[in-house]
Amino acid sequence: MATETKPIVMTKKSPKVKISASTIISYAALIILSVIWLIPIVWMILTAFREEYVDGVFQGSVSSNFYPKGFGFENFRRLFQETQFLTWFTNTLIVAIFTTILSTLMVLMVSYAISKLRFKLRKPLMNVAMILGLFPGFMSIIAVYYILKAMGLTQSLFALVLCYSAGAGLGFYVAKGFFDIIPSALIESAKIDGASALQTFVKIILPLSKPIIIYTVLTSFTGPWMDFVFARVILGETNTSIHTVSVGLYLMIHSSQADGTMFSTFIAGCIIVSLPIVALFLVMQKYYVSGVTSGAVKG
């Protein structure tokens, strides 16, 4: 009588994941650093919505309590109704938009020329640009101010756009790295087909350069949006209607330092100013990272 043999079923054991002590320490350190980094942001948000009253009087100064006793929109109401914040915000937006357009065009054109064209002063120009990039821009602010003053351009938004975008072409290194990875055969084919240099750049190169264009737009926009030094010196203090957000908020908090009643309103303004930058990076983060990594090649 034949006996039935049961098939042997081999069960796969799940591999054990070994977590080393160094990995645990690294994650713990990252968590601690993240909490430390987030504490000021949380404090700013709580302060912006802080609504505390003492004897019926609104307290807009610094409070020793991390967590507010009350929440509301009083700080934002004061910001829009008792200050010129909307005017400052509009001025900053105008300067940032025009600077972004001019800076992006100059950076892309200069980087494309340095990457794909060969001329005698190419290497010296790259070396000079690298050396100049080692020095912070505010070192030239005194000379820039007197030049603008001699031309009668101080205390104007046009002067700010001119300052922010004039030297943008020197920051071509990242965009040049991106253009270096575009095959030169495409340019040669366009030349054979009779396309001019401008047509090649506009119709062939730019459609392939979306990541680096977005990267350049973001960096060009954040510069004038967050700048204080150039705006403070060039715009001055007298004409508040042409101030940018950074200058306006600084003068607002500076004028109320005696009683500190506008501090929480100042924080509310800082929160609003940060929203466009956060939104841009969240929407364009994928292209921003792609532009940085694609441009990080040896040229």
Would 242 be classed as within a structural domain? yes
Q: Which of 205, 228, 229 is nearest to 139 (CA)?
A: 229
Label residue 100 by pLDDT band (50, 70, 90). Answer: very high
* Average pLDDT, rounded, for the chain: 81
| pLDDT in the model for residue 298 | 47
Same domain, 202 and 105: yes
pLDDT recorded at residue 1 = 47
In a domain, 157, yes or no: yes
CA 93 to chain centre: 13
Number of domains present in the structure of the chain? 2
Q: Name, of 68-77, 88-97, 261-270, the range with top average pLDDT.
A: 88-97
Q: Are 56 and 92 in the same domain?
A: no
User: 165 or 137: which carries more pLDDT confidence?
Assistant: 165
Phi, psi of 136 (to 5 degrees): -65, 150
- The least confident of 104-113, 131-140, 181-190, 252-261 is 252-261
Q: What is the Cα–Cα distance from 142 to 177, expressed in whole angstroms? A: 33
pLDDT, position 169: 76
CA 226 to chain centre: 8
pLDDT of the residue at 88: 92
Same domain, 60 and 156: no
Q: Is residue 169 part of a domain?
A: yes
pLDDT of residue 299: 45
Residues 56 and 122 in one domain: no
Tokens of 202: 């506009």
Reply yes or no on whether the pLDDT at 13 is more than 70: no
Nearest to 252 by CA among 266, 232, 268: 266
Q: Show the domain range for 288.
A: 80-295
Regarding whether 242 and 107 lie in a shared domain, the answer is: yes
pLDDT at 288 > cutoff 80: no
Taking 60 as the threshold, does the pLDDT of residue 65 lie above it? Answer: yes
